[in-house]
């Protein structure tokens, strides 16, 4: 049995992993799907204090309080920023890192640095609420922005997506334990369509090591292709 911690991306919450979590649990694995502060069912906690560091702390604290070790830590999209920071701060609790169509940052980079044009394009459509700059403002068809095409899935997402504090996207990642962090095996599950935009050296190295899966679907692949994602995650556990 493996233990998975599935970290969501911008504007989402732990809810987005429901299909994958059900499949992993049915296969006998332990699964945690934390929601980061200010998002999802924790949207009421949004405020000027919510940033990348706080989201990293959210997950580090969960690992500690649940006493989890040898975890397969998965991050989707913006969640790649979060899991990299978590592994830096709690390397002794992480067995494998999985980047799920996610940002692959290095020390000193923000999400804006890693995915500049896409992230910057969200800012003009944002708004200020109680002094907090929010982006990824939900709208009824927002699921399509994440590559989701099924009308039922889009409707399901529309009821759950929440705005995301811009501060999280512009704050640089600060790493202090890089030797331990980069010693953790890394795996990549990506959308076929994003391969061309990724670091060719990184993807070539991952593919040669048998640590790269590409799935021909939209960015929210845990929603559009939960079985394929689950199968890849189970492969990670047995590799």
Q: Which residues have a catalytic role annotated? A: 77
Rounded Cα gap, residues 213 and 205, in angstroms: 12
3-state SS, one letter per residue, for the chain: CCEEEEECCCCCCHHHHHHHHHHHHHCCCEEECCCCCCCHHHHHHCCCCCCHHHHHHHHHHHHHHCCCCCEEEEEECCHHHHHHHHHHHCHHHEEEEEEECCCCCCCCCCHHHHCHHHHHCCHHHCEEECCEEEECCCCCCHHHHHCCCCHHHHHHHHCCCCCEECHHHHCCCCCCCHHHHHHCCEEEEEEHHHHHHCCHHHHHHHHHCCCEEEECCCCCHHHHCHHHHHHHHHHHHHC
């Amino acid at each position: 049995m493996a233990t998975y911690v599935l970290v969501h991306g911008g504007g989402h919450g732990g809810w987005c992993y429901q299909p994958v979590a059900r499949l992993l649990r049915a296969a006998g694995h332990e699964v945690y799907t934390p929601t980061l502060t200010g998002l999802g069912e924790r949207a009421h906690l949004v405020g000027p204090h919510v940033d990348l560091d706080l989201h990293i702390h959210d997950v580090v604290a969960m690992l500690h309080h649940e006493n989890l070790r040898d975890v397969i830590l998965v991050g989707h999209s913006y969640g790649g920023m979060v899991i990299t920071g978590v592994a830096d701060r709690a390397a002794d609790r992480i067995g494998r890192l999985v980047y799920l169509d996610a940002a692959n940052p290095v020390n000193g980079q923000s999400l804006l640095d890693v995915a500049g044009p896409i992230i910057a394009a969200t800012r003009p459509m944002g708004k200020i609420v109680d002094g907090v700059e929010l982006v990824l403002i939900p709208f009824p068809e927002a699921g399509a922005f994440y590559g989701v095409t099924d009308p039922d899935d889009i409707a399901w997402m529309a009821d759950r997506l929440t705005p995301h504090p811009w501060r999280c996207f512009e704050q640089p990642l600060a790493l202090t334990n890089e030797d331990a962090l980069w010693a953790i095996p890394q795996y990549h599950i990506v959308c076929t369509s994003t391969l061309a935009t990724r670091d060719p050296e990184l993807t070539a190295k991952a593919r040669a090591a048998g640590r790269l899966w590409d799935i021909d679907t939209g960015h929210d692949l845990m929603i559009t292709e939960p079985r394929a994602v689950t199968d890849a995650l189970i492969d990670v556990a047995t590799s």
